[in-house]
Amino acid sequence: MRTLYVTIAGSLLLISIYPSDAEAGGVPGTKERISFEGVVGRHEQSPLGDYDGFGWGNIEAIGKGLDRDEPGFQSVVHGKVAAANLQGTGIIGRDDNSRFTLKSGHFAAFGDGPVPVTFNAYLDGVLVGTLSMTLQPADTLVQFDRTFAHIDRLEIDGHIVAFDNLHVSF
């Protein structure tokens, strides 16, 4: 919440402003659900680059109307858009290099077969957490443990992993 102090005709007026999730991104003590709605249209695809206070390396936003023959991708889309690492290891880090905690997210193997994936958490270039699993082409809620708290970079190492609705805190 932000408080705005305004003086009108000699009277002090206090106005409280509650930022939206997108505006709250990175405010210490906040929690956020990152979805990819509105980044691209239903039939579009584009690299994420900088989005919602994060830098997204090798990760693209993909509209639900594309890749209809990919059951894993379709299963993980919770709205009209999800994300995937289509070009190798996906890298997620804060734009301002600050720390964040990854709590959970919905993940799936992009195509129609299982995919081994390793999530690596880094802090100041040091590997501090690892979670390895085999993702099926079905929506899987992945819960991350305390080793994914107060990190500055996450790597998703697995060939073509789709995801949506990441829960992070700052």
Condensed to tens digits (0 to 9), the pLDDT of residues 95-130 reads 888 899 999 999 999 988 999 999 999 999 999 999
DSSP 159: S
CATH code of domain 29-169: 2.60.120.1350
The residue ranges of every structural domain in the chain are 29-169
The predicted model gives 44-73 an average pLDDT of 91
**Number of C-beta neighbours around residue 97 at 10 A:** 10
- Residue 47, pLDDT > 60, answer yes
**Parallel, antiparallel or unpaired: strands 126-135 and 90-94:** unpaired
Q: Is 12 helix (H, G, I), strand (E, B) or coil?
A: strand
User: In 112-127, which positions are buried (b, 16+ CB within 10 angstroms) versus exposed (e)?
Assistant: eeebebebbbbeeeee
DSSP 146: G
- Residue 84, pLDDT > 60, answer yes
pTM of the entire structure? 0.80
Condensed to tens digits (0 to 9), the pLDDT of residues 23-42 reads 444 555 566 889 999 999 99
